[in-house]
Structure 1
Amino acid sequence: MLDGADLIALESRFGADNYKPLDVVLASGKGVWVTDIDGKRYLDCLSAYSAVNQGHCHPRILAALTEQAARLTLTSRAFRNDQLGLFYEELAALTNSHKVLPMNSGAEAVETAIKAVRKWGYEIKGVPEGAAEIIVCADNFHGRTLAIVSFSTDPEARGGFGPFVPGFKVIPFGDAAALEAAITPNTVAFLVEPIQGEAGVVIPPAGYLARVREICSATGVMLILDEIQTGLGRTGKMLAEEHDGVEADVTLVGKALGGGFYPVSAVLSNTDVLGTLKPGQHGSTFGGNPLACAVARAALRVLVEERLVERSAEMGAYFKAGLESIRSNRVREIRGRGLMLAVEIHAEAGAARPVVEALRDQGILAKDTHGQTIRLSPPLVISRDEIDWALERIETVLR
């Protein structure tokens, strides 16, 4: 039987070297806990970048998956299925949306939104063909497709992949005045994360999204909020936009929409934007398949019926307060909203990666990002006792 070292060696031998994971080989998971091939348990404080908000292997979502998988998995969109309409109705009601376009990955949802708002710009707003502009923010992360890395400001994401797709303008994150100044008659949309996750859980100034909403409404610009990580309960609201009392014109959801079982994403919008897409102009063989729809419906029911959104707000506040009580000269800042938290380490205290490796040795799996930041985003099912368990070990490492 192969051990962990053997499996890591196989990855190194046959796999592309495009990730640098922690050297832990996981074999099973339940709730907030995962177990490696040697039987050691870890508290998962990453949740697969918020794709496992409902916890690992949630029994209700598993039941929906197995029941649907035994009945019908894929029809393509050439035919209709008995899950798609129900998925549309339930997701639209939950997010106050008019139209839903299902895709698979988060990056596909972003690409879909880019196409749709450009088409809206040409057909409805009257932007000259080929001149549409989309404004984005520095330090963004929206995926890794060619169009998306074309407006990334991360040298690692962009280097060696040009020529890039034109039509994007980059402004600072959290600066509403910069957005107002950047808008031209050819601007069709502003694409932004309510909280920048990969950048290190960067929260914009109070009132930023409300002011952004005002500017976009006044100038006829579609506001696209990428809620693929922040949405579906992660920040203590169903959608992070609710913290600012705004509604986007286009909202992107994914990750937790599949409950950790299956890749499901969706573009949520008004009829003006998605109504411009006609048969044959955009689609996906797997997007909206019956298995994905059944899983997503179950994942949404779990969030609502088990009150995981409210739990995220309560447990997030508790976790954040516990982190703030730790006295360590290594810590520069604790920040976050709901169960989307970050610990930033002082530069003179070294990089975050050794801290993450030490946490692993203590039984906690977290993720370093941007050199100095440790992300802590456990599944929303986490309990106070489990948070206390984690805090003891985090304090041990930080001190």
Structure 2
Amino acid sequence: MNAPATPTTNEAALAEYQQELLPVFGQPALVIERGDGSYLWDLGGKRYLDLLAGIAVNVVGHNNPDLVAAVSKQAGEMLHISNFFTSRAQIGLAHELLRVSAAPQGSRVFFANSGTEAIEAAIKLSRRTGRTKIIAAERAFHGRTTGALALTHKAAYREPFEPLLPGVVHVPFGDIDALAEAVDADTAAFFVEPVQGEAGVIEADAEYLRAAREITSAAGALLIIDEIQTGVGRTGDWFAHQRAGIVPDAMTLAKGLGGGVPIGAMLTYGPEVSALLQAGQHGTTFGGNPLACAAGLAVVDIIERHGLLDHARELGEWFADAVAGLDDPRIVGVRGRGLLLAVVLRDEVSAQVNTAAREAGFIVNAVAPDAIRLAPALTITQTELATFVDALPALLDSIEPTEGQPR
């Protein structure tokens, strides 16, 4: 059997990609060869400051030596054992998640392989209440499997696959009155993101999250917090909802939890909710495998040892002030918290800024027509982040205005 040819240029590799992979992601912009810290290099050797971190995944940076060591050690011992058995890594990571979440006695953890799988577990958890109505927020993004997609609001994602899971109602995000009107005796759960990342980094205020807790509790419904993008230190707290001082019934995690190794999790809070799913009622072959859990343990350890929660919070505040200090009329401001941020633009030119940034050696994300999302590694330095702040005016200068827009 002949070995496959290895493309040696970005162009050749992308041409082969088009021939061999399903086009569900469109055409990739780059072929990435390696990473280190907050930087990536493409196949042609060009360096980029990675301000997206795999969409909030690489929380401790690329090629972090402690994470690499933990994964290498575990790979040399065992990769997979199935859930007929357990491992010290699986038990240890569950313990650490319950600790940093300050979960009450009787809380439990279920490990999956991704965020959307964690959402699927939470949907099944909610069905065990005996109710079937689920409420989610407008502009929410909870995943792309058919159950999670029913909760996701964007019509372009949903409509090609309808009919989806019945009984899902969407309410305006942040509207307490609308939520109170929607939650009733038939409601199984309200799923909500503390910050809607895919909607453009829109943060729920503490009053809304506290009201959600009160409204669902009064109706006997579950409050399920989706921390897939916001969790694991991203916002400067272990979990974004903690700043509101609430305790959910369940929480979903993924993205940053493995630092780049695929893993998801659902936490159930307290003995009553944790008893809803019993043996045989849910499962996964790869969930909680030793390799992913070893990575998760390393991520938690690195965040704590290096004080990355404080670092994320302080650096996010510095960034917002630094962008405001540019006094550029084309920039409305910065929204978000910690290192989940959006630079809000006066005009709907984010796609052009995204391209200009990449050409200048920065990886960002045009998350909304007028907003650029940043979700860098929590280890990024102020000096590194300052290079993007300094470059912003020139990036905006490089954009050709559309008709009717000022330069």
TM-score, normalised to structure 2, is 0.92
- Determine which of 380, 395, 398 is the counterpart of 1:397: 395
* Range that drifts further, 187-196 or 142-151: 142-151
Q: Which residue of 1 aligns with 2:266?
A: 267
- Determine which of 359, 362, 366 is the counterpart of 1:361: 359
What is the alpha-carbon distance in structure 2 between the residues aligned to residue 294 and residue 300 of structure 1?
Answer: 10
Post-superposition shift, 1:370? Answer: 2.7
The question of whether the paired residues in 1 share the 8 Å contact of 2:183 and 2:216 is answered with no
Q: Which residue of 2 aligns with 1:386?
A: 384
Q: Which residue of 1 aligns with 2:371?
A: 373
The question of whether the paired residues in 1 share the 8 Å contact of 2:53 and 2:375 is answered with yes
Cα shift readout 1:318-344 (whole Å, capped 9, x = no counterpart):
111112222333323421111111022
**2:109 is equivalent to residue 100 of structure 1:** yes
The question of whether the paired residues in 2 share the 8 Å contact of 1:45 and 1:378 is answered with yes
Q: Which residue of 1 aligns with 2:252?
A: 252
The question of whether the paired residues in 2 share the 8 Å contact of 1:335 and 1:342 is answered with yes
What is the alpha-carbon distance in structure 2 between the residues aligned to residue 225 and residue 88 of structure 1?
Answer: 18
Match for 1:378: what amino acid? P
The question of whether the paired residues in 2 share the 8 Å contact of 1:224 and 1:248 is answered with yes
Match for 2:368: what amino acid? H
Post-superposition shift, 1:183? Answer: 1.1
Secondary structure, counterpart of 1:18 in structure 2: helix
Match for 1:89: what amino acid? H
- Check 1:229–1:81 CA distance in 2 against 1; reply closer, same or farther (3 A cut): same
**2:19 is equivalent to residue 16 of structure 1:** no
Q: Which residue of 1 aligns with 2:332?
A: 332
Post-superposition shift, 1:45? Answer: 0.8
What is the alpha-carbon distance in structure 2 between the residues aligned to residue 193 and residue 39 of structure 1?
Answer: 38
**2:79 is equivalent to residue 73 of structure 1:** yes
- Check 1:350–1:190 CA distance in 2 against 1; reply closer, same or farther (3 A cut): closer
Post-superposition shift, 1:21? Answer: 5.5
Post-superposition shift, 1:206? Answer: 4.8
Match for 1:268: what amino acid? L
* Range that drifts further, 327-336 or 75-84: 327-336
Cα shift readout 1:257-306 (whole Å, capped 9, x = no counterpart):
1011x111110112222312222111001011111111111111111111
Runs of 4+ in 1 over 4 A off after TM superposition: none
The question of whether the paired residues in 1 share the 8 Å contact of 2:50 and 2:363 is answered with yes
The question of whether the paired residues in 1 share the 8 Å contact of 2:139 and 2:154 is answered with yes
* Range that drifts further, 151-160 or 303-312: 151-160
Which runs of no fewer than 5 residues in structure 1 stay unpaired? none
Q: Which residue of 2 aligns with 1:243?
A: 243
Cα shift readout 1:164-194 (whole Å, capped 9, x = no counterpart):
1102111000011111110111111110000
What is the alpha-carbon distance in structure 2 between the residues aligned to residue 178 and residue 57 of structure 1?
Answer: 46
Secondary structure, counterpart of 1:34 in structure 2: strand
Match for 2:92: what amino acid? L
**2:46 is equivalent to residue 48 of structure 1:** no
Secondary structure, counterpart of 1:160 in structure 2: helix
**2:25 is equivalent to residue 26 of structure 1:** no
What is the alpha-carbon distance in structure 2 between the residues aligned to residue 70 and residue 205 of structure 1?
Answer: 46
Map 1:79-158 → 2, pairs under 5 A: 79-97=85-103, 98-119=107-128, 121-122=129-130, 127=131, 132-158=132-158
Cα shift readout 1:9-31 (whole Å, capped 9, x = no counterpart):
11112221112465222111111
- Check 1:228–1:151 CA distance in 2 against 1; reply closer, same or farther (3 A cut): closer
What is the alpha-carbon distance in structure 1 between the residues aligned to residue 227 and residue 216 of structure 2?
Answer: 18
The question of whether the paired residues in 1 share the 8 Å contact of 2:123 and 2:147 is answered with no
Q: Which residue of 2 aligns with 1:207?
A: 207
The question of whether the paired residues in 1 share the 8 Å contact of 2:323 and 2:333 is answered with no
* Range that drifts further, 370-379 or 19-28: 19-28
Which runs of no fewer than 5 residues in structure 2 stay unpaired? 1-6, 398-407
What is the alpha-carbon distance in structure 2 between the residues aligned to residue 340 and residue 136 of structure 1?
Answer: 21
Cα shift readout 1:112-138 (whole Å, capped 9, x = no counterpart):
00101211x12xxxx4xxxx2111001
The question of whether the paired residues in 2 share the 8 Å contact of 1:328 and 1:398 is answered with no
Between the two proteins, what is the percent identity of the paired residues?
36
